[in-house]
Amino acid sequence: MEFKTKKPNAHWLPAVLVLVITVNTNLYSASQDTFYAGRRFPSERKTYRDQNTGHEVSMLTTSPAKDNKIYQTHPNWTADGRHIIFTSDRTGTNQYFALSIDTGAITQLTNDKGPGNAFVSRTKSKMFYLSQRTIWELNINAICDLKENKQNSRFRHKVADLPDKLTVSGTLSLDSNGKDIYIGVQYDEGSWGLLALNADTGQFRKIINSGFRVGHCQAHPSISGLVMYCWETGGDSQQRMWIVRADGSDNEPFYKETYDEWVTHEVWWGPDKTLFTIWPKDEQMLKKPHGIAYITLQNRSLNILSQKKYWHVGGSPDGKWAAGDNFNGEIYLISAGTGKAKLLTQGHRPRGATVHPHPSFSPDGSSILFCSEKNGNWDLFLIKSKQ
C-alpha cells in the first residue's frame, strides 16, 4: 500500500461502532470543577562538562524530586518551543509541569488524581491527558503566562469520559489534524483494540479490535489517519510492529520480524521512516543484524543504522539524526547519512539505577532531552546534538 499519497477514507464503514459520549459543549463552563494551576518553582538549571567527551550538558532539574520526561514516541516540547513538559512528584503526587527553555523556571500544570498519558500538540500550545477516567484538554501557555497564581482560573476543558468497562492500554496520540485522538484500549481479559476520539464532539469510534495487548499507539506526525502501534508483552512478542489506517483498513504487520528477533521501541522518524531497536538477546543474536534499525513506508526492508547494544531510540523530526541510549547510561548521536555513532555523554545510569533515558529531539533537532540518574535521583538533562 502507498501511504504517501493515499488519503484516509472520510466515510466510516457501517459496521463501525460509534459511542456517543455526552460532554459539556461549553468549553469553560462554570459547572466544571474548579481547576488549580500555576504554582511556580525557580530554575534548577546547572551545567557541567562530560569528563569523557568534553561536551556541555545541562541539568534542567536538580531537586530531590523524581522528575521524568514524556516517552520518546511523543512530543516533549510545546509547539512554540517555549516549554518542555514533564512529570514530577515535587508537590507530593505525580503531576505535569512545564519548564521554560528561556529561564529554566518550572510551572505546575495539573493538580489531578493520577494524571498520565499526556500528548503535547505539535501545532498548538496545549496537551491532552487522562486523569482517572476523564480525558482533558489543557492550555499550556494560558497557565505559564499568568502574572501570579490565580487559584480560581480555569485552563482546561473536559473532552470526554472513557466508556464504561473499558481501560486505556498504552498511550493516547493526537492525529496531525489536531482533532482526532487515538487510544489503545482493553475491553476485558482477552480483548483489546484501538479507538478514535473526536476532540471537538467527544464521540468515540472503533478503529480495530485486537486479540493481543495493544501498546505504543502513535499517530504519524504529518500523515493524517495513519497509526502505528505494537503488540505489547513487556518483552519479546511474536510480531511487535503494526500499522493501520484510522478507518480500520490496511491493518497489518509493519516490519515483519523473523522468529528470533527481539524488536522493540519503535518511533516515527521524519516523513516516511520508522526507527526501532533490535535487542541481541543472546550470543547467537550478536552475530546477526541488531542495534538501531529503520524501515520506510514504501519499502519494509530492514536497514541497520548502527550496530551496538542499544536500548531506546529517538529520531529528529527531519529524519537526519537518531539518538540511542543503552543500559550503561550512554547517549549516542547517529547520522542518518553515514550511520556513524558519536558518544555525546555517559554516566547517567550508575550502579543500581532504575532510570530509562528515553532520548528525544527538540522540534528543530538541535537538542536531545533525556532522563538521568547521575545525581542519585531521576532528573531531566539536555545536550546539544552538535558540539
> Would you state the pLDDT for residue 164?
94
Separation of alpha carbons 242 and 248, rounded Å: 12
**Cα 171 from Cα 243, distance rounded (Å):** 15
Do 98 and 81 meet the contact criterion of CB atoms below 8 Å apart?
no
Span 91-104, mean pLDDT?
97
pLDDT in tens, 246-296: 999 999 999 999 888 999 999 999 999 999 999 999 999 999 999 999 999
- Contact, 247 vs 13, CB < 8 A? yes
- For 284, the enclosing helix (H) or strand (E) is helix 283-286
Please compute the mean of the pLDDT values over residues 55-81 and round it to a whole number.
Answer: 98
Work out the average pLDDT over 208-222: 98
Q: Which residue range is the domain that position 283 belongs to? A: 260-387
pLDDT at 21 over 80: no
* pLDDT (tens digit per residue) in 334-360: 999 999 999 999 999 999 999 999 999
Angstrom distance (rounded) from CA 169 to CA 212: 11
pLDDT band at 387 (very low <50, low <70, confident <90, very high): confident
Residue 379 falls within a domain, yes or no? yes
Q: What is the pTM of this model?
A: 0.89
Q: What's the mean per-residue pLDDT of the chain?
A: 91
Q: How confident is the model at residue 46 (pLDDT cuts 50, 70, 90)?
A: very high
Q: Which of 107, 177, 168 is nearest to 135 (CA)?
A: 168
Residue 3 pLDDT exceeds 50: no
CATH of residue 328: 2.120.10.30
Q: In this predicted structure, what is the pLDDT of residue 148?
A: 60
| Average pLDDT for 70-80 | 98
The predicted structure's pLDDT at residue 224: 98
Answer yes or no: is 348 within a domain. Answer: yes
CB atoms within 10 A of CB 170: 23
Helix (H) or strand (E) holding 71: none
**Domain membership flag for residue 385:** yes
Paired residues of 304 in beta bridges: 293
- Cell numbers that stand for 369 in this block: 532531552
Establish if 76 belongs to a structural domain: no
Average pLDDT over every residue of 175-199: 97
Q: Is the CB of residue 1 less than 8 Å from the CB of residue 180?
A: no
Which pLDDT band, with edges at 50, 70 and 90, does 154 fall under?
Answer: confident
Q: How far apart are CA 95 and CA 114, in angstroms?
A: 8
What total of structural domains would you count in the chain? 1
First to last CA, the chain: 41
Say if residues 216 and 230 touch (Cβ distance below 8 Å): yes
| pLDDT (mean) for 303-313 | 98
pLDDT at 20: 34
Contacts of 33 (CB under 8 A, 6+ apart): none
Tally of CA atoms within 13 A in the half-sphere of 89 that contains its CB: 8
Read off the pLDDT band of 230 (50, 70, 90).
Answer: very high
Mean pLDDT of 107-126: 96
Q: Which of 131, 134, 126 is nearest to 158 (CA)?
A: 134
The sheet carrying 321-325 orders its strands as 313-315, 321-325, 331-335, 341-345
Please classify residue 141 by burial: count the beta carbons closer than 10 Å to its beta carbon, then call 0-12 exposed, 13-18 middle and 19+ buried.
middle
**Is residue 296, in this structure, part of any structural domain at all?**
yes
Look at residue 153 and tell me whether its pLDDT is greater than 60: no
Is 354 part of a structural domain of the chain? yes
Q: 42 lies in a domain?
A: no
- Residue 85 clears pLDDT 50, i.e. is over it: yes
> Across the beta sheet with 273-278, what order do the strands follow?
263-269, 273-278, 291-296, 303-306
- Identify the pLDDT of residue 375: 97
Q: How far is CA 265 from CA 58, 162, 218, in A?
A: 25, 27, 12
Identify whether 170 is part of a domain: no
